[in-house]
Amino acid sequence: MRRTFAYAAVTKDTRNADIGLFTDPSRLSPVNTAGRNHTVDIFAAAEHHFGQVQVEMTSRCNLRCRTCLYPTYARQWIPLDLNMAHFNRVLDVAPQCDAIHLQGWGESLLRDDIVHRIRDVTHARGQPTLGSNGTIMSAQLARGLVDGGLASMTFSLAGPDAHSNDRLRGSGTFAKAVAGIQTFIAQRSADKIPSVLINYLLTPYSYPRLPKALALASRLGVDTLVATHLVHAVTDDQKALSSCEESRQHAWVFFRSRCAVLWRKTQLILPDVRPSPIPVCMKNPIKIFRRRGWLRFPMRIFVPTHRSCSAG
């Protein structure tokens, strides 16, 4: 079976949120199979196997982070949940995917039915994973996610302490996120299932504090700390936050962090520091690039979030 990755398929429709995804082939993303680029509708591509499909369950969020597009485009933003008609189509291809990751611009845990949707993916013979800012995690919710068959849980932090995190995400968010991580870990099984990760946002302030973040993750019992760059920077403030120029200081921070892994219980995944734009596919007809080493999800399905765009 061929392994196919669709790097980015973002569908937004401002006229009718219930219009089926990918009904127009021209709006599908390019994929690469054995060096050949072509367009694939994942809902009709039974012969393909996908890595990770990312599905945005909602564009609603309880935070207004400085690093997010939500507050930047607040007037155009459409708070909306992915409807079941679309979600059921994802379930149809769940067995063909290594994982179904339920996360987008919104906070997935705001959906009252998120535990049921995790169970749906599990029952469809898929591997459900989830991402959250962690601020609204509860013991009951954590228990439901674990019992529902969640394969991994990812929390997001923008710093290793309240001073660094809260300046970007709002007062009190660090304490709530840490409490959420502790609550979830307390509910998982003794064999550490599901796995727990922290996505640690690298900014000029948080970068030098990476060893402190690793120590925090280890104390909390987190399995993996994933250092990430700010991907979507549209304002001057966000561009400044995404700037992490390579330097001797940063090299030393990476070296210290790698050494610390030897006595910590937490795995560390580091991105490349030096920016190197590469195309998302070999043909790249509309000149879309990503930065080498930046984490990406092979396929994204987004609900409508922005009023001024008809398709992404």
β-strand pairing of 30-33 with 36-39:
antiparallel
In whole angstroms, give the CA distance from residue 196 to residue 82.
25
Mean pLDDT of 127-133: 97
Q: Over the stretch 17-55, which tens digit does the pLDDT of each residue have?
A: 222 233 333 333 333 334 343 444 555 555 677 788 889
Residue 216's alpha-carbon distances to 163, 164, 186, in angstroms, are 14, 14, 16
Omega of the bond leading into 271 within 30 degrees of 0 (cis): no
pLDDT band at 281 (very low <50, low <70, confident <90, very high): low
pLDDT value at residue 226 = 95
Per residue in 160-218, pLDDT (tens digit) is 999 999 999 999 999 999 999 999 999 998 889 999 999 999 998 998 899 999 999 99
> Residues near 140 by Cβ (< 8 Å), separated by ≥ 6?
none
Residues making up the chain, counted from first to last: 312
Q: What is the mean pLDDT of residues 56-84?
A: 92
Of 45-54, 144-153, 263-272, 299-308, give the range with the top mean pLDDT: 144-153
Pick the most confident of 116-120, 243-247, 259-263.
116-120
- Token pair 């007809």 is at which residue? 285
Task: Tell whether the model's pLDDT for residue 140 goes beyond 90.
Answer: yes
pLDDT at position 282, please?
52
| Mean pLDDT score of the chain | 77
Closest CA to 78 of 64, 62, 58, 63: 58
Q: Calculate the alpha carbon distances from 242 to 58, 119, 168, 187, 294 in Å.
A: 25, 36, 12, 35, 12
Burial class (CB in 10 A: 0-12, 13-18, 19+), 252: exposed
As to burial, measured by CB atoms within 10 angstroms (0-12 exposed, 13-18 middle, 19+ buried), residue 112 is: exposed
Asked if the model's pLDDT at residue 274 lies above 80, the reply is: no
Tell me the three-class secondary structure of the chain, residue by residue. Answer: CEEEEECCCCCCCCCCCCCCCCCCHHHCCEEEECCEEEECCCCCCCCEEEEEEEECCECCCCCCCCCCHHHHCCCCECCCECCHHHHHHHHHHHHHEEEEEECCCCCHHHCCCHHHHHHHHHHCCCCEEEEECCCCCCHHHHHHHHHCCCCEEEEEECCCCHHHHHHHHCCCHHHHHHHHHHHHHHHCCCCCCCEEEEEEECCCCCHHHHHHHHHHHHHHCCCEEEEECCCCCCCHHHHHHCCCCCCHHHHHHHHHHHHHCCCCCCEEECCCCCCCEEECCCCCCCCCEEECCCCCCCEEECCCCECCCCCC
More confident residue, 305 or 130: 130
> What is the per-residue pLDDT for 218?
93
Tokens linked to 222? 């987190």
> What mean pLDDT comes out for the span 79-88?
91
β-pairing, 152-157 vs 299-301, is: unpaired
Instruction: Please state which of the ranges 154-163, 263-272, 290-299 shows the lowest mean pLDDT.
Output: 290-299
Structural domains of the chain, with CATH: 52-301 (3.20.20.70)
Given pLDDT bands bounded at 50, 70 and 90, which one contains residue 264?
confident
